A = this chain, B = another copy of it.
Amino acid sequence: MQQKFVTIFPLKTIEIKSAWQGVSECEKCSIRSSALFAELNEEDFSKIHSPIDDLSFDANADIYSQGDHAGSLFTLRNGYIKILHVNSDGSERIVRVVLPGNLFGMEALLGDAYEHSAIALTNVHLCRIPKNIITSLGEESPRLHRQIVKKWGEALLQSESWFSEINTGRIEARLARFFLKLAKKSGHFAIAPLFKREDMGLMMDVKFETISRALASMADQGLISNITRLSVQVPDLERLKQFSKQGT
């Protein structure tokens, strides 16, 4: 019932960069400072023997699905990913949005199966880290272990703060906070990404029509402009901030 996209393979993932082996690239990784291996030194890298693949996915592609065997965790390099939880009654809810630099799929370290589904919201670029690298390297490198604890903690805090801010109050205020979290300055304006209205509804627990109406209403009020499928402009971040606190 979901969107269908044309795939060459009946399978779900599309890999456009070839996998590569070894450690040299990790050491030069542009997002390394914020990534899992931030604190590792050369000696640590020399202990990595399994391949860390560098993968790309199209928007809407499944990275993994709830219940899949969990053999790897991932670092997102760019793009956005939604973490979807399917409730026992079949209803769905987006429990986290993964931002560049974030780790996801850490359930792999705890159990055999993923607890959620991870689906690309945009075209994405990510690293797949086999769990055995962590478990074996972890024995020897307290630095890595510390980093994992830290990353995990950040994920929890992000999840809780996301939850608290994106799910409290009227929709318009929630949308405002959502924009404030994701907006990036670009010249005189700030630009915030939009996702499918359906997805945004799943994040905030409202129907997609409600998202659409709220966007229109906020545009009427001059809080945002140039609504497209993929983004909005925020002319005045400060004003939006005020709005997110007040409600009117």
Contacts and interface: CB of A to CB of B under 8 A. Distances in A.
Given A139-B142, A149-B148, A91 B156 contact: no
A165 B157 CA distance: 19
Nearest to A180: B88
A89 interface: yes
A96 interface: yes
Nearest to A84: B164
Interface in A65-88: 83, 85, 87-88
Contacts of A244: 89
A167 interface: yes
Contact of A95 (B93, B115, B163, B169): B163
A109 interface: yes
A13 B107 CA distance: 36
Can you tell how many copies of this chain the complex includes? 2
A189 to B, nearest CB: 22
A85 B164 contact: yes
Interface in A131-150: 138-139, 142, 145-146, 148-150
Contacts of A83: 160
A160 B115 CA distance: 10
Contacts of A109: 149, 153
A153 B107 contact: yes
Contacts of A89: 244-246
A112 interface: no
B153 A93 contact: no
Contact of A88 (B90, B152, B245): B245
The 6 closest A-B pairs by CB, nearest first: A89-B245, A93-B164, A95-B160, A85-B164, A110-B153, A156-B156
Given A110-B150, A110-B153, A167-B205, 9 more contacts: A89-B246, A91-B168, A109-B149, A116-B160, A148-B149, A155-B156, A156-B159, A167-B167, A169-B205
